């Protein structure tokens, strides 16, 4: 009787805490969307911001955020996958492996402002990349790489050992086992880690103020030459992201409708993150099904 009572109490506490977390998240999202969704329009999503006059939009900032996301993932995902696979399947236990794992843990706990100042000193000044999308992507890689490495390593270690042993029994090479046996099983957690990394790209502001910059040149969306200074695809131009723009509007905005612009931009940021999560999970499941189906055929 006592065991049943304790089980009911524990279940009630756990469910209550879970519902409380969901309620807090729903309340936060609802508040942001309630304040900002009425200010969202096609003109707001495509027009450039105004410094003094009312009626500005967030078109360049939204594009910069999406472009920065692509650049960051192009750097982070291959490095994170490679390092995570090495730590899980190739690294031998020892002092060097423990030291690498310690470095990864330390990097994951760095404050964003420290990473921003580090990027300003090393990437912007010493490497000479200046305030640019590439500088911002490299700074965000410092954030996201530890997460990708840890999740990839844990995903590969969570695959049952019997599957690996079956691959060796069939005479498959180590790399063949990693790519055709372990990777399809480990893919769902890796996709989750990629989505979490992408969320940090959308929401980061402190590090990007010192690396990507707090302003954007006038973009010519008819010019797709990546070497042109006015081209949207030029990765070496300054780029104010949506999160930085929200901070800037709230702190030093001079437009009479600055509060409305900040509220609308916040709602756009939240909706963008939600859409990205849904789309990424859909394609992740699709890729997982295709890899699983091809593995069964083979």
Q: What's the pTM?
A: 0.85
Give the domain extent around 108.
40-297
CATH number for the domain including 66?
1.10.3720.10
Q: Out of 177-181, 226-230, 270-274, 284-288, pick the least confident.
A: 284-288
Distance in angstroms (rounded) separating the CA atoms of residues 288 and 146: 24
- Chain segment 207-220, per-residue pLDDT in tens: 888 998 888 788 87
Structure tokens at 229: 């200074």
**Which pLDDT belongs to residue 135?**
92
Residue 237 has pLDDT above 70, yes or no: yes
6 found inside a domain = no
Q: Out of 29-33, 151-155, 192-196, 264-268, pick the least confident.
A: 192-196
User: Alpha-carbon torsion 159, 146, 124, 222, what sign?
Assistant: positive
13 found inside a domain = no
Nearest alpha-carbon partner for 264 in 56, 48, 25, 60: 56
Query: Which residues in 265-279 are b (16+ Cβ under 10 Å) and which e?
Result: bbbbbbbbbeebeee
Q: What's the number of domains the chain is made of?
A: 1
Nearest alpha-carbon partner for 240 in 212, 259, 281: 212
242 found inside a domain = yes
**Which pLDDT belongs to residue 179?**
82
- Chain segment 86-132, per-residue pLDDT in tens: 888 888 877 888 888 888 778 777 788 888 888 899 899 998 888 99
256 found inside a domain = yes
170 found inside a domain = yes
- Chain segment 143-170, per-residue pLDDT in tens: 888 888 888 888 888 888 887 777 777 7
16 found inside a domain = no
30 found inside a domain = no
12 found inside a domain = no
User: Alpha-carbon torsion 5, 7, 8, 13, what sign?
Assistant: positive
């Amino acid at each position: 009787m006592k065991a049943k009572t304790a089980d009911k109490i524990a279940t009630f506490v756990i469910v209550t805490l879970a519902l409380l977390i969901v309620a807090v998240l729903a309340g936060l999202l609802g508040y942001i969307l309630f304040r900002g969704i009425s200010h969202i329009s096609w003109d707001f999503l495509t027009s450039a911001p105004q410094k003094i006059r009312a009626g500005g939009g967030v078109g360049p900032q939204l594009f910069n955020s999406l472009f920065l996301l692509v650049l960051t993932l192009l750097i982070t995902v291959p490095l994170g996958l490679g390092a995570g696979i090495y730590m899980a399947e190739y690294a031998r236990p020892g002092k060097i492996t423990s030291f690498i794992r310690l470095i990864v843990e330390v990097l994951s706990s760095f404050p964003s402002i420290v990473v921003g100042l580090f990027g300003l000193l090393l990437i912007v000044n010493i490497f000479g990349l200046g305030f640019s999308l590439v500088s911002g992507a490299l700074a965000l890689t410092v954030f996201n790489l530890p997460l990708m490495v840890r999740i990839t390593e844990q995903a590969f270690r969570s695959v049952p050992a019997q599957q690996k042993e079956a691959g060796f029994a069939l005479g498959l090479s180590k790399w063949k086992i990693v790519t055709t046996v372990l990777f399809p099983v480990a893919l769902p957690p890796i996709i989750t880690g990629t989505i979490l990394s992408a969320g940090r790209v959308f929401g980061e502001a402190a590090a990007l103020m010192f690396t990507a910059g707090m302003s954007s040149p006038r973009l010519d969306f008819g010019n797709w030459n990546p070497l042109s200074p006015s081209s949207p695809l030029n990765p070496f131009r300054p780029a104010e992201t949506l999160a930085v723009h929200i901070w800037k509007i709230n702190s030093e905005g001079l437009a009479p409708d600055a509060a409305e612009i900040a509220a609308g931009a916040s709602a756009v940021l939240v909706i963008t993150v939600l859409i990205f999560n849904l789309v990424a999970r859909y394609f992740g499941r699709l890729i997982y099904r295709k890899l699983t189906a091809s593995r069964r055929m083979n």
